[in-house]
Structure 1
Amino acid sequence: METALDALYTTPPPDFVARREELAAEARKAGRAGDARLIKAARRPTLAAWAANLLLRSRPQECEKLLELGRALREAYRTLDAAELKSLSAQRRVVSALTGQAAELADAAGHRLSAAVRQEVESTLGAVLADQEAADRWATGRLHTALTPPSVFPAGFAQPVLERPPRPPVTERKRRTNTKDEPDEPVERRRSAATSEATSEAVDELAERRRIRRERLARARETAEAAARLLSSARTEEAEADAGLGRARERREAARQRVSEAEQRLTEARAEARRADREQRQAEERHRTAAHALTTAEREAREAERVLSRLDPRGG
């Protein structure tokens, strides 16, 4: 079925419906009803979409380079500024050249493209450059309508100016009018080579810009890594200093606690000393009182003995 659809979408639009019915009938006859339904659902392409499909099938190498250029341009758009993108003028030549090849292929197949249709083909190829989804759709080779570049890209990025091909000599125009033979092979090869060269120039230009950007990015990363190392070292030093400050504060707090405890003990010792002083004074006072009482009692005892001796000289 894939082969059938590929063949269907390279069929000129005027013959598309008949060819679709033929292929669907063949699928039904072979017992592939599901394939027949898918073939019947295929939409008839516009002339511009058909020419774009025909270009993809007939010029695979040049078209692959266009897809590669589109990937590079989209990457550049994400990483570079608009001023640099505007300088990537080679993509204009690539799209214009491929549009010319599509027109030649269509002409060889018996369907000359008008200026308006050529503009639609060129718009489709511009969309392929600018948008990944458009590139994916074109890469299937089954477009049914022309594509339009997105409007979010900088002016001129994917909208090349349509360059009308030079009119062939009168004898060549007459020959093409009277016959549908293939274009002159040397001329076709030269044009294909010119398209390939223009595409290669664009890819090389982008590759150089990306190389310069990678070098700048590498230097910026080295600078950032050095700054990160310095920052890490400074943070380590700050953490060590903070830990040292914490230990010093702990020692200071412990010393203050010991001083407070010592001051408390000194206060208690002083109070105890004052109590001892009072008790000593009280004891000394009691001692003096007792000594005085003893002296008085001794004197009174001696006086009493003298009186007794006078009253009882014999002692008995």
Structure 2
Amino acid sequence: MRRKSGKGAEAGDSGDATVESVLDELYATPPPEFVARREERAAAARTAGRKEDARLIHAARRPTLAAWAANLLARSEPEESRRFLELGRELREAHRSLDPAGLRELSAQRRRIVTALSRQTARLADEAGHRLSQAALREVEATLRAVLADPDAAERWSGGRLAVSLTPPSEFPSDTAPAAPAKPEPAGTTAPAQSRAKDELADRRRKRREELADAEREAKEADERLRDTRTRRKEAEELLRRTGEEHDRAREEVSAAEERLRAAREDLDRTGRELKEAQEGARAAGGAVTGAEREARTAARRVDRLAARGR
């Protein structure tokens, strides 16, 4: 069952997407981009007020390259994946029913199909920009064999969210038909106990391998987070340096502008005083001109009178 987000919005918005749709998106994301995408989606859920969704998203484990490639196959080739899962059911049924002929035929198909699907997975990964190494390809083949042998592994793979490669159970025959039924053991035999002990040992080894793979993956993710954090800190320090320099330049420009403003105000005051003095001088000169004009007119009339007397 898919768990809906707190707001029940469509999956197109990362802030309101269902947890299931976000997880589907994450496990379709190539491993190098997984952590950044996960943190982005978790942050969007937190911003939307969905703390539990954010916790579930943040808990998603970064897949190995081989596990991502196996997820890619399951998602990209749904019809072939369906037929492969059906082959696994038939193969397990033949094993349970001890049908040698059917098991031989299905085992031959298993070999061909695992080889073909492994190559197809490598091609899909390469097209997505991530070439699989031989070791990763062997992990993909192991996952496909596990899907055929184990119904739980088949269900996990079909969900397209593997974080690590799967390991086929040791008790499932790889390519051969089952042996003839053994003769009854005498009473008190220890064979069943030995078989159980072997099974328990195999289970413990498989669990240890899975725990080791989980620990290595978590350590790698921690290293990636540390590198990301250091990168962000370096970027923040660089931004702080640039901003400080810009602030210093702006402060210098303000100081220079204030100095220019002070000088301009002094010039304004000085020119104001000079203007006032010039206006007073102009008024005084105007008065002198008026007086001189009166004197000139008086002198002219005197000249006229004197000239009249002489005639």
The normalised TM-score by structure 1 is 0.48
Between Structure 1 and Structure 2, whose CA radius of gyration is higher? 1
**Using CA pairs below 8 Å that are at least 6 residues apart, which structure has the higher relative contact order?**
1
The normalised TM-score by structure 2 is 0.49
